[in-house]
Amino acid sequence: MSISIPQLPKGTRDFYPEAERIQNYIFDTWRSTAESFAYEEYEGPMFEHLELYTGKSGEEIVSQLYNFKDKGDREIALRPEMTPTLARLVIQKARELKKPFKWFSMPRLFRYEKAQKGRLREFFQLNMDIIGTESIYAEADLMAAIATMLRKFGLKDGEFAIGVSSRKLLATYLEEIGAPNPALVYPVLDRRLKIGPEAFAKALADAGLSEDQVKKLDDFMSCKSIEEVKTKVHSENATAALAEIEDLFATLTAAGYGDCVNLDLSIVRGLAYYTGIVFEVFDKGKSMRAIAGGGRYDSLTEKLGGERIPGVGFGMGDVVLADLLAEHNLLPSPKQSVDFYIASFTNDMKKVFETAQAFRSASTGKPFSVAHPLSAMKMGKQLDQANYQGAKIVVYVDGSKASAGEFEYKDMRTGEMFVGNMDAIVKRL
Ligand code: HAM
């Protein structure tokens, strides 16, 4: 009888240490940037009641839910996104939380999608959100953070772009051309560039739009500048929505991010809860799927039964980001690297453990990483291990040239040998 070995579930990843090192580099950069913009970290459960998503997030995401009945007959879903959880947290403490506030989280999410490049069934997503203000400067803060973060990863302005649109503006245009029910039209508009012009026209016709309305909408979504849009929309609401976008761009330009943002009315976003500015971040030339996406959701807490509390934020997935960084050769080496390897000519393990411990606590900052053999072995083998583990310095606990309080040591980066006390060795790092 043959037993098949266990298989990795479709759309999931294993993180062997080399992959986990890169993953942690992404998490560290996400976290340090969010903290440098004064966002506070929060978390929630990985599963929620199914009804948190149904009817609020939009059809697409609900069709991708991993859901099941638990042993108490409750309908449960693994979280496909963080925003509904955030809204729940906000509603629960609506009175206590001092608004506005800025929070971030790096949840593991689950979507039953067709696994393909840039899309998996389990992934991580940085979420940054600002709750409790309708000000456009919240959008500016989020976009500045995105640009700062992508620059920190080593991408140059021009290698990525934050495309900005506005559902408010789109809604006023739909009204101006007399289009029916925007809620039905948004999911179609979101797929415009993915499905091609014919399928797009057909889907809009199915939603009740005439040929002329489809043509107008297509022209509108192709607008590349605010000036161009101004020639097409005239209502007071549209003018206000445009003025908001102009203010956003001017603010970002003043802060040095002008080259990172552009108007892109083809962006609609698939999620149902967005009410204002929506945005997506793409690599240059949009050759990959979106790196990040987000927008303003001023009525989500209300839809979930709480009071109306405005919010805006975005999610940035780890998958497309890592693909893009790899393409630009911007991922760090996945190899292990330790500060010291403690070796012994006589396999004096007590001395090895004692010295390793002394070196670990010799740092005044982050503790040094210290490795050593775990069984008796020849010096050649110990040096092999030191090399493999990326040790910077090998310290010999029983070198014959060292006097009391000193060690022989080898700088593995240059191959040079020295004799000195712990202070001297630490300085050499
Ligand atoms: P979303 O557009 O569904 O928005 O996802 C945002 C980003 O998460 C995408 O641009 C992509 O990088 C990544 N992502 C989404 N699905 C997958 C997948 N199956 N595999 C890998 N990466 C994926 C939201 O989730 C909103 N809740 C974001 C938000 C936060 N809006 C306001 N605050």
CATH of the domain at 406: 3.40.50.800
Residues 391, 281 share a domain: no
Residue 293 Cβ < 6 Å to ligand 1 = yes
Task: State whether the beta carbon of 317 lies less than 6 angstroms from ligand 1.
Answer: yes
- Ligand 1 atom nearest 320 alpha carbon: 12
Is the residue at 6 inside a domain? no
User: Which of 173, 151, 174 is closest to 162 using CA atoms?
Assistant: 151
Q: Is the pLDDT of residue 90 over 80?
A: yes
| CATH number of the domain within which 135 lies | 3.30.930.10
Q: Is the CB of 120 under 6 A from ligand 1?
A: yes
Residue 80 in contact with ligand 1 by CB distance below 6 A: no
Answer yes or no: is 1 within a domain: no
**Do 363 and 274 fall within a single domain?**
no
Please tell me the least confidently modeled range out of 25-29, 185-189, 257-261, 419-423. 185-189
120 in a structural domain: yes
pLDDT for 1 equals 60
Query: How many A from CA of 218 to the centre of ligand 1?
Result: 25
Distance from residue 292's CA to the centre of ligand 1 (Å): 6
Residue 324 Cβ inside 6 Å of ligand 1? The answer reads: no
Tokens 């008796």, residue located: 376
356 in the same domain as 316: no
Q: Does residue 317 share a domain with residue 294?
A: yes
**Averaged pLDDT, 243-253:** 97
Together in a domain, 306 and 373: no
Tell me, yes or no, whether 69 lies in a domain: yes
320 and 384 share one domain: no
Q: Which of 327, 346, 366 is the last residue of a domain?
A: 327
Same-domain check for residues 277 and 400:
no
For residue 310, the cross-strand partners are: none
Q: Could you identify the atom of ligand 1 that is nearest to the CA of residue 127? A: 30
Pocket of ligand 1 contains residue 83 by CB under 6 Å: yes
Same domain, 204 and 86: yes
Same domain, 322 and 346: no
Q: What is the mean pLDDT of residues 354-383?
A: 96
The number of folded domains in the chain is 2
Task: Say whether 357 sits in a helix, a strand or coil.
Answer: helix
Does residue 344 share a domain with residue 249? no
Dihedral angle sign, alpha carbons of residues 123, 128, 133, 139: negative
- pTM score over 0.85: yes
Could you report how far apart the first and last alpha carbons of the chain are, in Å?
A: 56
Same domain, 310 and 345: no
Tell me the residue range of the domain where 110 lies.
Answer: 17-327
Ligand 1 atom 15: residue of nearest CA? 317
Domain assignment present for residue 44? The answer is: yes
Q: Is 268 in the pocket of ligand 1 (CB under 6 A)?
A: no
Amino acid at 75: E
- Is pLDDT of 379 > 90? yes
Q: Is 10 within a domain?
A: no
- Measured CA to CA, the distance from residue 369 to residue 23 in angstroms comes to 19
